[in-house]
Chain A
Amino acid sequence: AQKVTQAQTEISVVEKEDVTLDCVYETRDTTYYLFWYKQPPSGELVFLIRRNSFDEQNEISGRYSWNFQKSTSSFNFTITASQVVDSAVYFCAHTGSARQLTFGSGTQLTVLP
């Protein structure tokens, strides 16, 4: 069975600080897909990234970067120079042979001005 663990329940940083959100997954699949979603206070789920298990290249998109390491089953997310608008709950998720998303429990990020 798949499992996604986001051990950090809440993180609080001051604007312009860098912050890393951790995600550890468990799977028996050899082919699988990992995602990050942002859920701002308004409640919608915003897609951030999708990564397949065969692509361990790190990715950077503006202030966002992702570090995928199969050896440690981790898919961590870093926000550089955080801004107040980054305040949200961030979810890591996995899909594979079960053909449904398994979400982590989310990390509430608060960026203080």
Chain B
Amino acid sequence: GEEVAQTPKHLVRGEGQKAKLYCAPIKGHSYVFWYQQVLKNEFKFLISFQNENVFDETGMPKERFSAKCLPNSPCSLEIQATKLEDSAVYFCASSQSWQGANYGYTFGSGTRLTVV
């Protein structure tokens, strides 16, 4: 399809619970990126993949966050033992190249995670 599909749209977790977010990139896009949007306007890069390989994970808080992109499956972002500060909208984006060639990065509609 021509859209990046993120599920679920909303997720509520109690502090300490696990959260798992999914992202199906556009077919033919080799790169997948995860960003966290907090306080409405602040974006933080988390991790990127080139196909199933980690491309850049410099933004990942590794103690509790993990991510995978396996062949023939949606990519996933998992947060173990969620904290209140993890409350944010998590966006996934896909692209044909890491530079966002041709039509830029296509973003999904996001998953709003609320930790209570």
Contact = CB atoms under 8 A, between A and B. Distances in A.
A43 B110 contact: yes
B41 A105 contact: yes
A99 B45 CA distance: 10
Contacts of B101: 50
A47 B105 contact: yes
Contacts, number: 59
Contacts of A33: 99-100
A99 B98 contact: yes
Q: How large is the interface on B (under 10, 10 to 19, 20 to 34, 35 or more residues)?
A: 20 to 34
A76 to B, nearest CB: 18
Contact of A44 (B55, B58, B99, B107): B107
Given A43-B109, A43-B110, A44-B109, A95 B100 contact: yes
B106 A47 contact: yes
Contacts of B58: 100
A101 B33 contact: yes
Interface in B32-70: 33, 35, 40-43, 45, 48, 55-56, 58-59
A60 interface: no
Contact of B55 (A50, A99, A106): A99
A101 B109 contact: no
A95 B99 contact: yes
B24 to A, nearest CB: 15
A50 B104 contact: yes
A81 B96 CA distance: 34
A50 to B, nearest CB: 5
Given A99-B48, A103-B42, A106-B41, 15 more contacts: A33-B100, A35-B104, A37-B104, A44-B109, A45-B91, A45-B107, A47-B105, A47-B106, A49-B104, A50-B101, A50-B102, A100-B45, A101-B33, A102-B45, A106-B40
10 residue pairs, one from A and one from B, having the closest CB atoms:
A45-B107, A47-B104, A103-B43, A100-B45, A106-B41, A50-B104, A44-B109, A105-B41, A99-B98, A99-B56
Interface of A: 33, 35, 37, 43-45, 47, 49-50, 52, 89, 91, 95, 99-103, 105-106
